[in-house]
Structure 1
């Protein structure tokens, strides 16, 4: 039988709510009028006005439909022999679930969809019996009950669906067998060559590292210049012209893990979004074992359109695995990911809607810019802010303008839900699932864009926390490079040769650059200040000086682009700090070697970044300034 998605009834009789005293006649009439005007349900209006709770809706529907009622399906005993006849995704889509056999022999079926003749025929056909008893239940309680009932399957699908359907683009296997053989042969060949001709081979290796460093930094420099004069604004008149009736349902995913300390900040920040509540669903994705965060969410009593989705235990325990679960229960046409501490511009969702309307069906995701609210807390936060200014205001704009593959940032990615599902969702085994998804989209012929909206985050204030975060990012770039190097012709065929070379310089070149920083620094010290060192007797001076030249030029270029970083946002006080970029890169190099070690020993381990460490306020800032208005001309 053809699978159909549920369609919430728009004409349910909620007179029970009046007769029971839950609402007044005036409240019900007003909700029905608004529901008709805004093309939504009466229940949604009443729930978002916080006049009633979901159990009231279940009771009202039971009274209107003439069925029994299950107020909280999550606590019901569900017979696996009946429920396991279908995949959990099917129940989510169809809106009904067999619960158990009753004493009279009939099968109790929970649903939040009006049990029409069509639905009854579907259920009878699926269960193979006409003896069916329907029970009305609450919509989100239904979804959570399905996740609980199928916990083991949900965990497995969230982790392994991409690996099963598209193993070529999954990082579940770090290196394919041909890659292992190729790397093994290359390593053996290098050892043999070093043994036979140590000096010439060493010269070539050092020279190759030097050239790779210069190429990677020069590429970033020229792409940043390409993006320096681009401020691709979303037409403000188009944003203002959007009406609540025109807007689609939008899902916000917020994966959290051990972040009970910033739950209140999360609710406050997302509560500032300028989007109609009845078309905005916020799904807070919490790991099953994280009791503290779950309790913190309950204690804050979030609005009705905020829902806690408990992610079943499973491995790898990563953010993308949680997001894959959220994707399956999301009802929005569009979807965005925010981190727990994020503070997006209030109109960011509306700007994304306009971008998708203007961008055509091939535009599958748009990236908003990221910046920091604690940019001046210490030296590290200043350097982080400079880097983000360069990356999001120049680098990504330049890549977008050049139609090159665009690695997404870890948050504020806005997706077409249907396109995201066709891409296979996120790769739970890739620890930079965002960058991977942007490249995968390009490899499959989709387009990734940027929008002129800003999300403020918390910059790392401590070096150990920075190393944890940055080592994960660099390891993810290594994983993404290995994944797309398995069959580079796929990316070349879909995106083109130039985009493939750009991918190689940016995604593969970034880890190689950082791995080369410390050796290059040491070689520089040796060649300039320790002229009698043994190394200078082995390697010709022209090689050492060429490497030094490339290294210095590369650093000058990166200092310059980091100086550009704060200009578009008027953060001129940060410009002098860009001179410390060579020192900042030492931290990146340390993180790169940690990333390489973890790629070998713990490729899928997710290094958690601790949030809520800043002493500065700003996650729930007390002003509503449009930060995109701060753009000024770049140098």
Structure 2
């Protein structure tokens, strides 16, 4: 062990630092050119030589720690011997950011400190001052330090990830599915409905059908209007290649990438390759692969893929709810980047996406909390379902989001390729781990605080769902999340209207609340329309007035035609014209959504916080074809 106080050292630090640099080429751990590059980065941006060499993949973490141990003559850390109470005297975020951690107090009052970076004069003085005592260094890898932080701070991290939003403002958390007032209101509504059905059965059913028809028409008309508006506008931020090329890598901020994975052992090797192509300096990039504590198979597969040093596993402590947003909140705890993005395990973002998002943030100012990239599918032509998936997303990203943004209406975020200002995200309380569409909820909360969400001209390639059962699982979760988000923000409608304004509130009602309501109405609406066409008019007229049947029929024709037309719009901005004829199947596609909506409603009642996992890696097509 090597001891350092706040005054003086046993050897001159500059000599040790020079010995460290000389040793690297001697042992073929780094080339003179790589060392010169690292020196240049340090001169321009202050990043230490060892950090640049490690983060750019020139020097792996284990080799770096071995050299530090030899040059500074310090022992390797025994990370099992940690005094948790002593370590918790400072925050876990500090240790993460600076790559060190106090292990315990020695008999003479000094602190035993594990370090993954060179303990030069500047670092030694800083750590001693931070702890308020002299220090003795031992060497440990970054991974060892981070695992120790999880062990020491694990219960606190798990509690914060699950309950920070609830503790801040329980009204905004989906942990409570429905408030007492909402439950009372629902009971009263059901009682009134049962009484009305008993006293005036025909009139009650007619009123219910009319309301369903009105909801279907209102939701369709809203999407049609917004999409036509979006057709007049390009994406919110069109960043040119020349602007990207003009960026100086040494002046870029630190960026955090979160990749939540669960039972994805079959695709993590591809994940490492896909995200390894990101065009961002490695010494300013951290990629956190978020793996559940119980998911040993995915962890082993990731470690076997030999990821670069700036890729790190973050083990998600066991706890409830086991959801993607809870995992992301753990990742947010460890994040040291000024900006942060989420990618799914199967994602292939365009290499310059982070740079385009960064430029968009610079244009948008501090009130731009999120920049969203578009999604596209590499297996769009695999079968009918993948074609419908691609049509839907083309219309959503190229028309709906552009239309919403042009009218300054709240944008429900997508679950991936969302780029955030990290501090703004933390100020919002992170993601709601109890909401299974945490992204849509976050978009509404951001809008309520005056933040803006933008869209950038970059795409992430994903795997479209090719399996109907898998599709139903995925969509039932999305629709259940929209139901949760509706219930959360319906607890305080007047407050929400004051915060976001009348027209934004109407947009929330029509889009977030209207989407599950529309899908719930599709099956009965379609069935009634088909029966009215299949059965003699005189027979049906015994139960329903003819005018109502005509209204339903016209609504069906108009609504279906509008949605077919909107689906046909999707390919035009992307040039995928071969998909256009498939839009005629949109009414059948909506039936799948309706089935999913009833499953979502049932799960909202029986297991509201259950995360219905979507299986990935089912496609036979490659994202490089």
TM-score > 0.5, shorter chain as reference: yes
| 1:591 aligns with one of 564, 576, 596 | 596
| Aligned position for 2:35 | 28
Quick check: 418-427 or 26-35, which moved more?
26-35
Q: Could you report, residue by residue, the CA deviation over 1:466-516 in whole angstroms, capped at 9, with x for unpaired residues?
A: 000010000011011111111122321222110110011001100011101
**CA distance in 1 between partners of 2:213 and 2:76 (Å):** 68
| Aligned position for 1:144 | 147
Change (3 A) 1:274 1:257: same
Q: Could you report, residue by residue, the CA deviation over 1:34-83 in whole angstroms, capped at 9, with x for unpaired residues?
A: 3323542211221134332224444555677x684545x7x433223433
Where does 1:396-411 land on structure 2 (aligned, <5 Å)?
Answer: 396-411=401-416
**CA distance in 2 between partners of 1:520 and 1:481 (Å):** 23
| Aligned position for 2:492 | 487
Q: What is the CA distance between 1:557 and its match in structure 2? A: 0.7
| 2:523 aligns with one of 488, 493, 518 | 518
Q: What is the CA distance between 1:192 and its match in structure 2? A: 1.6
**CA distance in 2 between partners of 1:339 and 1:586 (Å):** 27
Q: What is the CA distance between 1:168 and its match in structure 2? A: 1.6
| Aligned position for 1:625 | none
Local SS of the residue matching 1:460:
coil
1:360 aligns with 2:365: yes
| 1:321 aligns with one of 326, 350, 367 | 326
| Aligned position for 2:112 | 108
Local SS of the residue matching 1:614:
coil
Change (3 A) 1:552 1:229: same
| Aligned position for 1:239 | 244
**CA distance in 2 between partners of 1:535 and 1:483 (Å):** 41
Structure 2: unaligned runs, 5 residues or longer: 1-12
Local SS of the residue matching 1:407:
coil
| 2:476 aligns with one of 471, 476, 497 | 471
Structure 1 contact 526–536 (Cα < 8 Å) conserved: no
**CA distance in 2 between partners of 1:601 and 1:404 (Å):** 33
Structure 1 contact 443–490 (Cα < 8 Å) conserved: no
**CA distance in 2 between partners of 1:173 and 1:425 (Å):** 17
Where does 1:77-476 land on structure 2 (aligned, <5 Å)?
Answer: 77-85=81-89, 88-89=92-93, 91-92=95-96, 96-102=100-106, 106-111=110-115, 115-117=123-125, 119-124=127-132, 130=133, 132-232=135-235, 233-476=238-481
**CA distance in 2 between partners of 1:84 and 1:395 (Å):** 48
**CA distance in 1 between partners of 2:291 and 2:278 (Å):** 22
Structure 2 contact 157–333 (Cα < 8 Å) conserved: no
| Aligned position for 1:568 | 573
**CA distance in 1 between partners of 2:180 and 2:90 (Å):** 36
Q: What is the CA distance between 1:307 and its match in structure 2? A: 1.1
Structure 1: unaligned runs, 5 residues or longer: 1-9, 125-129, 623-635
1:48 aligns with 2:55: yes
Give RMSD over aligned pairs: 2.3
**CA distance in 1 between partners of 2:36 and 2:468 (Å):** 58
TM (norm. structure 1) is 0.90
Local SS of the residue matching 2:333:
helix
Aligned residue pairs: how many? Answer: 603
Local SS of the residue matching 2:321:
coil
Structure 2 contact 412–443 (Cα < 8 Å) conserved: yes
Change (3 A) 1:279 1:91: closer
Local SS of the residue matching 1:160:
helix
Q: Could you report, residue by residue, the CA deviation over 1:409-453 in whole angstroms, capped at 9, with x for unpaired residues?
A: 111001010111111111111111111111111112111111111
**CA distance in 1 between partners of 2:60 and 2:244 (Å):** 32
Change (3 A) 1:315 1:500: same
| Aligned position for 2:542 | 537
Q: What is the CA distance between 1:106 and its match in structure 2? A: 4.4
**CA distance in 2 between partners of 1:615 and 1:40 (Å):** 44
Quick check: 142-151 or 506-515, which moved more?
142-151
Local SS of the residue matching 2:17:
coil
Q: Could you report, residue by residue, the CA deviation over 1:251-310 in whole angstroms, capped at 9, with x for unpaired residues?
A: 111111111111121112112222222222111111111111111111110111111111
Quick check: 251-260 or 188-197, which moved more?
188-197
Q: What is the CA distance between 1:314 and its match in structure 2? A: 1.1
TM (norm. structure 2) is 0.91
Structure 1 contact 366–449 (Cα < 8 Å) conserved: yes
Structure 1 contact 109–132 (Cα < 8 Å) conserved: yes
Q: What is the CA distance between 1:189 and its match in structure 2? A: 1.6
Q: What is the CA distance between 1:553 and its match in structure 2? A: 1.1
